[in-house]
Amino acid sequence: MVEIAHGVMLAGALAGTGATLARGRRLRALDAIAAIAMLAAMLDTAFAGVLPGVAWAGILVLAGLAIGIRSRLDRSRGLGCGAKRGPRPVGLGGRPRPLDDLHHALALIATGWLVAAAGHDDAGPSVETHLHAAPLLAAESLAVLAVIGLGAWVAVRALREGRGGIGHGVMAASMTVMLAAMAAPGLSTGFGA
The 10s digit of each residue's pLDDT in 146-166 is: 999 999 999 998 888 877 778
Residue 118 is assigned to a structural domain of this protein: yes
Determine the residue type at 139: A
Residue 38 is assigned to a structural domain of this protein: yes
Residue 86 is assigned to a structural domain of this protein: no
Residue 83 is assigned to a structural domain of this protein: no
Residue 44 is assigned to a structural domain of this protein: yes
- pTM value > 0.85: no
Overall domain count for the chain: 1
φ, ψ dihedrals at 95, nearest 5°:
-70, 165
Residue 64 is assigned to a structural domain of this protein: yes
Q: Domain span at residue 42? A: 2-76+91-190
The 10s digit of each residue's pLDDT in 17-62 is: 998 888 878 788 999 999 999 999 989 888 888 889 899 999 999 9
Q: Are the CB atoms for 19 and 93 separated by under 8 Å?
A: no
Residue 56 is assigned to a structural domain of this protein: yes
Distance CA 141, CA 21 (A): 30
Residue 60 is assigned to a structural domain of this protein: yes
Check whether 79 has a pLDDT greater than 60: no
